[in-house]
Amino acid sequence: MKKIVLLISFLSLLCQLVFGQKYAALTFDDAPDSFYTPKILDLLKEENIKATFFVLGKKVKKYPEIIKRINDEGHLIGNHSTSHTNFSEYKDSISVIRDVSYVDSLVYAITGKHNNYFRPPYGVLSDEQQKLIENYGLKKAMWSLSTKDWDVFNITKNDIIDSIKTNMHNDAIILMHSKDASGDLEKYPLRNNTIEALPEVLSYLKKNDYQLVTVDKINPQIGGDSHSLEVELTKRNDIIFYGGFEEGFNNSYWEKSWGIAWNSRADENEIISNDFLGEKSLRVNYPKNGLGPDETGLQFPVVLSNMTNLVDSFYEELYLRYYVKFEEGFDFRRGGKLPGLMGGGDSWARSGGNQPNGNNGWTLRFMWVENGKLIVYAYVPKSANGKWGEELWGQGIDCSFTIQQGKWHCIEQYVNVGTPNKDDGILKVWIDGEKKVEISDMRFWDVENNYGRIGGFYFSTFHGGNTPDWRPLNDSFVQFDGFILSKSRIGQTVNTCLQKKK
């Protein structure tokens, strides 16, 4: 019998060496509390598993004995802010540092250890704020798999288990919760779904050879539970326009939410179910041999002045963000268009060889070219420096990026139109969170009018070009989701690097 046990142990070790050990980190936000956290700790102790607890300062102060137990039993304690305030509400560095340092001081007084990891409430943290917390000594630690157990009214025990089984991957950082951030037991029902699901989750992970470790053993990823983060974005006052597809894709919704008339090509496209940002995304069809916006893709201007709920319709600087996925088998051929910012008025007409003259608007769509390379396709007025606006059919600006089929990409674009009749306009582009373009000497207008200001974006996507060699050789599809126009950079709410191909 002893030989059999030794043989099994040897074979297990051999498999790990040959195929590689799989790791995962369980993380619990909003701890500690007197009801959930002890039960979670009991289950983890019974299975000899270590996890990471991201704690709130106000609860650390209330339950120091539970913080001591978390530490004494070998778990990692991370910083989750003082009271779960959305960090977008903090307008100065003092507020940020005051918040995280308060939590750190409380934990240190109990455990003798400083926090090394910070998980921002709702996953919201600006680039500047991230630099501040890094200088303070904290690493941003997000998650790659959410059980969505925060939705206490809709997510059941089985939903939690299914989300693990469906989305599990090596080096997963799993998000669960110890208690709702409010700590109000009367307002929120007991989170029995998490407690009831946890034993089966632990069993599943063990049976599938995952070694459960604390988050410091896995490189924390930028990302997050896309649905909860996207919902939170709709509440921000720096968001001018949010265009998703959760409510459907039909004439009335289109006119109400996007401010535009129904497009005949829209009938050729569809809303499909997925679990990316929410539950639905727009799937655009590019039929075999189609050419131009009348035969392939989808094209319409998103004009802010058509939206009755907006106070301002024209801006001198704005950010555009959206997600796009080219499905497997997409035929890039010679190229085609993707959405980008545009000037006011009928600026979308500044395309198709119709050059801007400094008085009638501009467009900055994106474009894929052969083999999936991405460029900015610029129709802008001629600049005095001779660098921009010289091309009749638009000017390509290399993004140093190649589209990967079957994978979501995050596209971000920033424009500051600068001063009329001067070459001081700014264009910036980020792809999947990495800055790819930064230009500060473009010209967007020669005279001050609303054509020169940003008036929306041009949802323009089709194959072309205007010659037969641009036509796709097979039916091709691209998915779109999460369109945002904002006064500040939003960035990714999903780590596209962790998105599985489907």
Point out the catalytic residue in the list 29, 149, 180, 225. 29
Residue 150 clears pLDDT 70, i.e. is over it: yes
Residue 502 lies in a domain: no
Q: Is residue 369 part of a domain?
A: yes
Residue 203 lies in a domain: yes
In terms of Cβ atoms closer than 10 Å to its own Cβ (0-12, 13-18, 19+), residue 38 is middle
Whole-angstrom distance between the N-terminal and C-terminal Cα of the chain? Answer: 45
The DSSP code for 453 is S
**Which residues sit opposite 321 in a β-bridge?**
412, 484
Ramachandran region, residue 376 (left: φ > 0; alpha: ψ -120 to 50; beta: rest): beta
Overall size of the chain counted in residues: 502
Q: Which residue has the tokens 């206490």?
A: 152
Q: Is residue 241 part of a domain?
A: yes
Which H or E element spans position 394? none
Tell whether the model's pLDDT for residue 290 goes beyond 80.
yes
- Is 249 found in the same domain as 169? no
* Contact partners, residue 355, CB within 8 Å, separation at least 6: 379, 389, 392
Query: Are residues 331 and 463 both part of a single domain?
Result: yes
Retrieve residue 324's tokens: 């796009």
- 51 or 254, which is more confident: 51
**Do 62 and 195 belong together in one domain?**
yes
Strand partners, 270: 283
> 79 or 94: which carries more pLDDT confidence?
79
Provide the CATH number for the domain around residue 299: 2.60.120.200
The answer to whether residues 193 and 239 belong to one domain is: no
- The three state secondary structure string of 21-62 is CEEEEEEEEEECCCCHHHHHHHHHHHCCCCCEEEECHHHHHH
Distance CA 288, CA 497 (A): 30
Provide the β-strand partners of residue 79.
55, 118
pLDDT higher at 442 or 258: 442
Q: Is the dihedral of CA 253, 258, 261, 265 positive or negative?
A: negative
Residue 325, pLDDT > 80, answer yes
pLDDT of residue 502: 40
Residue 244 shares a structural domain with residue 385: yes
The reply to whether 303 and 416 lie within a common domain is: yes
Residue 103: CA atoms inside 13 Å, Cβ hemisphere, count? 33
Alpha carbons 263 and 285: distance in angstroms, whole number: 14
Query: Looking at residue 457, what is its pLDDT?
Result: 96
3-state secondary structure of 478: strand
Q: Return the minimum-mean-pLDDT range out of 36-50, 82-96, 463-477.
A: 82-96
pLDDT of residue 126: 86
pLDDT tens-digit map of 352-377? 889 999 999 999 999 999 999 999 99
* CA–CA dist 33, 96 (Å, integer): 24
Question: What tokens does 119 get?
Answer: 């998980």
User: How high does pLDDT run on average in the chain?
Assistant: 86
Nearest to 76 by CA among 194, 217, 189, 224: 217
Dihedral over alpha carbons 55, 125, 244, 432 (to 10 degrees): -120
Kindly report the number of other CB atoms within 10 A of residue 131's CB atom: 11
- The predicted structure's pLDDT at residue 17: 40
In percent, the amount of the chain with pLDDT more than 90 equals: 59
Whether residue 209 is found in the same domain as residue 235:
no
**pTM of structure:** 0.60
DSSP letter at 214? -
CATH for 72:
3.20.20.370
Could you tell me if residue 500 is inside a domain?
no
Q: Which of 177, 227, 409, 463 is catalytic?
A: 177
Measured CA to CA, the distance from residue 493 to residue 143 in angstroms comes to 11
> Are 162 and 261 contained in the same domain?
no
Question: What one-character-per-residue DSSP string does 77-146 give?
Answer: EEE--SS---GGG--SHHHHHHHHHHHHHHHHHHHS----EE--GGG---HHHHHHHHHHT-EE---SEE
The candidate with the shortest Cα–Cα distance to 366, out of 341, 390, 346, is: 341
Sign of CA dihedral 201, 202, 208, 212: positive
Examine the domain organization and report whether 167 and 95 are in the same domain.
Answer: yes
Q: Does 29 participate in catalysis according to the annotation?
A: yes
For 386-427, the pLDDT digits (tens) are 999 988 889 999 999 999 999 999 999 999 999 999 999 999
Q: Identify whether residues 62 and 100 lie together within a single domain.
A: yes
Say if 291 falls within a structural domain: yes
Range of the domain at 374: 231-486
In a domain, 168, yes or no: yes
Residue 240 shares a structural domain with residue 209: no
d(CA 480, CA 302): 15
Instruction: Calculate mean pLDDT across residues 479-496.
Output: 82
16 in any annotated domain:
no
The residues that bridge with 27 in the sheet, in sequence order, are: 52, 175
- Same-domain check for residues 474 and 341: yes
The residue with greater pLDDT, 243 or 246, is: 243
The total domain count for the chain is 2
